[in-house]
Structure 1
Amino acid sequence: MSSVARVTTITARSETSFEDAIRTGIERASATLRNVEGAWVKEQKVDVDNGTVRTWHVTLEVTFVLDD
């Protein structure tokens, strides 16, 4: 049996950390997409205010398997 997967790009942010931004993005993608199998962190960036990191942003390439 073979399967077909699709990749979609999402962005997520957190006021805590990159790890939290990734977790938030995966949880949200999993609530909308079926069969999420993995993700690639394509980009990371932060917003800085007066020398302090305020928000962490990630761009994720999320892979999910299409239903038969």
Structure 2
Amino acid sequence: MSTVTKVIEVSAASPTSIEDAVQGGLKKVAHSVKNICGAWINETKVITSADGTITEWRVNMRVSFIVE
């Protein structure tokens, strides 16, 4: 039997880091999706305060999972 993989697009944010945004997004997806097997980061963005300090990291990513 062949394997079918589905891909969904997810946006996630963190005030700490890119890694934290990715992990937070994957944990949230894992609540409703089983068999996650990978992710690609499509876009990275930062939100800044008026003085240029980074206040939030944002990522858009594609998450793949095996369909049962």
Give 1:19 deviation, angstroms.
0.6
Counterpart position of 2:3: 3
The count of residues paired between Structure 1 and Structure 2 equals: 67
* SS in structure 2 at match of 1:32: coil
Moved segments of 4+, more than 2 Å: none
Tell me how far apart the structure 1 counterparts of residues 45 and 66 of structure 2 sit (CA, whole Å). 28
Tell me how far apart the structure 2 counterparts of residues 54 and 11 of structure 1 sit (CA, whole Å). 17
* SS in structure 1 at match of 2:65: strand
Identity of aligned residues (%): 37
RMSD of the TM alignment (CA)? 0.7
1:28-52, Cα deviation, whole Å (9 max, x unpaired): 1111101110000111000011210
Counterpart position of 2:54: 53
One-letter amino acid of the structure 2 residue matched with residue 64 of structure 1: F
Q: TM-score, normalised by structure 2?
A: 0.94
Counterpart position of 2:32: 32
Q: TM-score, normalised by structure 1?
A: 0.94
5+ unaligned residues in a row in structure 1: which ranges?
Answer: none
Tell me how far apart the structure 1 counterparts of residues 47 and 10 of structure 2 sit (CA, whole Å). 18
